[in-house]
Chains A and B, each alone.
Chain A
């Protein structure tokens, strides 16, 4: 049995339908268009921050806590730093946290869950009890503790949230793997001589991602919220770095300065809700996916 033939067989029984997938990912309702639009605009603005906003660290104490003006579109914070710029740069931190939490937690969870589900038996039972224990914490509590122990940096925030989240993915993917590994094309692939590693990574896993897609997209939003909650508690990124949650914490001391407190929260609300509105697209594409 050559690897080439094995490959072709795998493609025949479990084809990746890239074009079909792209087709089903087109927004259809108004809210989906709105969500995608807001995400595109915000991500572009965040990426282009150095071009369209002043230095987020430049302090100008005499004009601290100023209102909206031509120089400072959203006004300034308590140290006279430009809020518009800090919102944009803060968005970078949030997006980085959201994406990397998902990549880390996703990679760990998927690998763990896949091994557990594929192995079955006692190995599976023990591995899943460990997952149960992790899932017994309200996730932010575990993240809070880890983040406090490690210290406030972006990397540690990502580790803390990912450490609290991977069990969800592990359990989900395990459930899928258990079902998929009994399907005919897996048996066929095994009959053709594929070893357990090849079988798991190339045949079972690619066909177990269906449900994960929805959760993944929506979870970027919740990871951003979790990151900002840690920031608000003072356990997120450390002081001069702009971060939406930490900005709200700082603004708490200046309750009369509306823009200071409104802008970071509105940015969070706008971004996370856009992800949730756009999430409908992925949910639908999964439901329509015949290979699920």
Chain B
């Protein structure tokens, strides 16, 4: 098992390198001369000499006149220095843009994950405890609908109802226009509000955060619940649970002490994978509720076919995904005593 962890750690840089390779070659698929595309968006230069100077500068930076393997090397060295090129739609460096849009997205991801875990895990236990019953059947129907619904559509319809009609959800953005934003430290409005002691801003931003976090959290939560339920059902039919029942232990104790502790381990692995679908959900949900994060940025980049920005987003999200799954694997070795003890020996 120690071997497994070491192997995972050693492979992570290789995987990241491979990912840059794929994003690079995909962005080379576009059948457009990158120099022409860059100049085209900026109007004609003053003179041929000036235009040639710009082309030379671009070639010096990106090596667009060089063969593809060499271009990849230049791309990679630029990337390692944090240079992902310029976004054609914001006319800023992609890395600057990403630094601006990441903090709001981190807030949303964390909030949605909390909702998903707090809601999904007990729901799965509940359905498993009543398996075969009416509640379990209802759970099956609702959770199947939840994993079948296009998240972006659910967010739109929910926003129309809870914001447009009922006025319960807050409007677009992170704060009301009348709320003075707290001084920016981390870029995460919740954290900044706490740091500045601005409780009015904190409540306001939590109100804005609630709707997207609930939409994403409930959808992912149902996904968690389905896995917890199926693991719990397996555990409840196992011999050790029958033994525990036979000893006359209370139902609740058997459920949580015996069955749940074994059923929850796969959920750890799963939350790493669910992180991927959460990030996908972010892209579409942020656009709907006007949350100024990575998703909104990716949506605009996709709409304007801004490949630099788009591959920046894909790299950042994939990096987060790789790190999340690595963390999950390490957590797994801690959570499962069989694996943990296997590591000691």
Q: Is B95 an interface residue (CB 8 A)?
A: no
Minimum Cβ distance to chain A for residue B152 (Å): 5
Q: Give residues of chain A (3-52) contacting chain B, Cβ–Cβ below 8 Å.
A: 31
Q: A248: which of B15, B152, B298, B307 is its contact (CB, 8 Å)?
A: B152
Report, as a range, how many residues of chain B touch the other chain: 35 or more
Q: B148: which of A133, A138, A140, A269 is its contact (CB, 8 Å)?
A: A269
Q: Which residue of B lies closest to A264 (CB)?
A: B153
Report, as a range, how many residues of chain A touch the other chain: 35 or more
Minimum Cβ distance to chain A for residue B283 (Å): 7
Q: A272: which of B148, B279, B313 is its contact (CB, 8 Å)?
A: B148
Q: Return chain A residues, CB-CB under 8 Å to B318.
A: 136-138, 141
CB–CB A144/B302 < 8 A: yes
CB–CB B141/A31 < 8 A: yes
Q: Which residue of A lies closest to B20 (CB)?
A: A133
- Assembly CA distance A183 to B145 (angstroms): 40
CB contact under 8 A between A148 and B141, given known A137-B19, A268-B153: no
Q: A142: which of B16, B140, B314 is its contact (CB, 8 Å)?
A: B314
Main SS class of interface, B: helix
Q: A233: which of B148, B283, B317 is its contact (CB, 8 Å)?
A: B283
Q: Is B5 an interface residue (CB 8 A)?
A: no
Q: Is B26 an interface residue (CB 8 A)?
A: yes
- Assembly CA distance A88 to B15 (angstroms): 42
| B274-318 interface code vs A (CB 8 A; 1 in, 0 out) | 001101100110001000000000110011010100110110011
**Which of B18, B302, B313, B321 has the largest count of A CB atoms less than 10 A from its CB?**
B302
CB contact under 8 A between A31 and B152, given known A138-B276, A273-B145: no
Apart from A221-B148, A265-B150, A277-B144: 14 A-B pairs, beta carbons within 8 A: A31-B140, A129-B14, A133-B15, A136-B18, A136-B321, A138-B317, A140-B283, A149-B29, A225-B150, A235-B302, A245-B150, A255-B156, A264-B153, A265-B156
Interface residues of A (CB under 8 A from B): 31, 129-130, 132-134, 136-142, 144-146, 148-150, 221, 225, 228-229, 232-235, 245, 248, 251-252, 255, 261-262, 264-265, 268-269, 272-273, 275-277
The 4 closest A-B pairs by CB, nearest first: A133-B18, A265-B153, A138-B276, A273-B148
